[in-house]
Structure 1
Amino acid sequence: MMQERFPELNLGKQDCSEVGYTQSALDFPLDLPNRPLEVLLERSTFKLPKKVKSVHVTRPISKQGLQGMWDFLRKYETGTYIVLTSFGGRMDEISESAIPYPHRPGVLYMIFWRVRTSEDPAAAFSWIRDFYSYMAPYVVSPRTAYAACTDLDLGVNNQNGVTTYAQASKWGKMYFKNNFDRLVHIKTKVDPANFFRHEQSIPPL
């Protein structure tokens, strides 16, 4: 199929591997290829210092834009990857307000970056932030992000004291769009003392 639809990639069977779903978790995102599945039972295995970012795309990226992305990938090759997750189909049939995850009709795909930060943190952070800035003309505006790809650059809750609705909206709206307001009201009702929290958890009113 790849030869028929994307002959310019010149991919052969030797360039691909077929693995089960569980095995794929070792290859991506844990960077532990060719390891036995028992590795998943070792919690210490998953200490992988990294930085991630995500965006959603609603219109095709130009050839020039794609070339720029390729150039970025060549600039820094230590523990980096980029994933384009296609949307559409059944995703478009679910309204934005049906569940907390709102990125539905009109989204072509999500772009997810990850860079390992254990070798050269400064270079790694610089690379992924510059890449993120480069993508500004090609992605949804205002920007959105995927909540499972926690990006602390978007803002964090106050370590001491109360985080205001306005503060949390900076990242909350990017993750949940208009559903953020509903989630804040639910949080206020279910956990008014904010017992369950993390750097970007939804604060109560």
Structure 2
Amino acid sequence: MNVSFPELGLAAKDCHELSWVQTFAEGESIKVLMNRSHEIKGYFKGKSDYVNQPIPESGLEGMWKVFLEGEAGVMIWDPYGGKMSEIAEDETPFPHRAGILYNIQYFNKWEEAGVEAQRKHMEWTNNIYNYMTPFVSKSPRRAFLNYKDIDLGRNDENGNTNFSQAGFWGQSYFKNNFKRLALVKGRVDPSNFFRDEQSIPPLR
């Protein structure tokens, strides 16, 4: 650490070697790890974007105005580049590689129930997402799979879908890899047994 980050001024007395269990919570019994009750209740809405051109200063100023309106949520900007850019976009299912400056996640969390609470919190997410349209990737407007944006489209309630229908979100998540993934799905799970609201359909 002193070689890589000398500015920290780290000394041996600052370091404590612990097992994973010991790092959980100081002063707590490890029995709390056996508690499987889920007490966190609330609601969440997230969306995502990829940026491949610098956003002009005027665009950022406008973004802050929209960001601070209403029930403001959170934006997370994850920088890309480096090793990410060295891997071809068709080398793995994840295609967001060379040329991407960063990924943005927009999300809002709330605890109060009801239609009005949902409306005002989702309105913020949609407003900031719509404002960012001119500054983000296009054709398709890319999205990060793990943020699961159902606004991009979804399978039927029973999970059934087809390649054309799934293409609305498949292209955003996987770009040109989507067809290859659907062909693989057609070979390993032709009956579409493993499915969810945005699963890849089997293509044969």
Same fold at TM > 0.5:
yes
**What amino acid does structure 2 have at the position aligned with 1:59?**
Q
Aligned partner of 2:24 in structure 1 is none
Cα contact 1:51–1:117 (8 A) shared by 2:
no
Task: Return the offset for 1:172.
Answer: 0.4
| 1:44 alignment partner, SS class | coil
Higher-Rg member (1/2): 2
Runs of 4+ in 1 over 3 A off after TM superposition: 36-43, 45-48
- Counterpart CA distance in 1 for 2:56 and 2:192 is 45
1:116-135 equivalent positions in 2, closer than 5 A: 116-119=109-112, 120-135=117-132
- The Cα shift of 1:150 comes to 0.3
From the superposition, tell whether residues 42 and 170 of structure 1 become closer, same or farther in structure 2 (CA, over 3 Å).
same
Aligned to 1:103: 96
Q: Mark the runs of 5 or more structure 1 residues left unpaired by the alignment.
A: 1-21, 23-35
Q: What count of residue pairs does the alignment treat as equivalent? A: 172
Aligned to 2:4: none
Q: CA deviation at 1:124?
A: 1.0
**Which deviations, in whole Å up to 9, do the C-alpha atoms of 1:54-83 show, x marking residues without a partner?**
0000011111111122112211345x2100
Shift of 1:126: 1.3
Query: 2 CA distance for matches of 1:109 and 1:172?
Result: 20
Cα displacement (A) at 1:103: 0.2
The one of 43, 57, 60 aligned to 2:51: 57
Give me the TM-score of the superposition, normalised by structure 2. Answer: 0.77
Q: Percent identity?
A: 42
Change (3 A) 1:41 1:146: farther
What is the aligned-residue RMSD (CA, Å)? 2.5
CA distance in 2, matches of 1:170, 1:41: 40
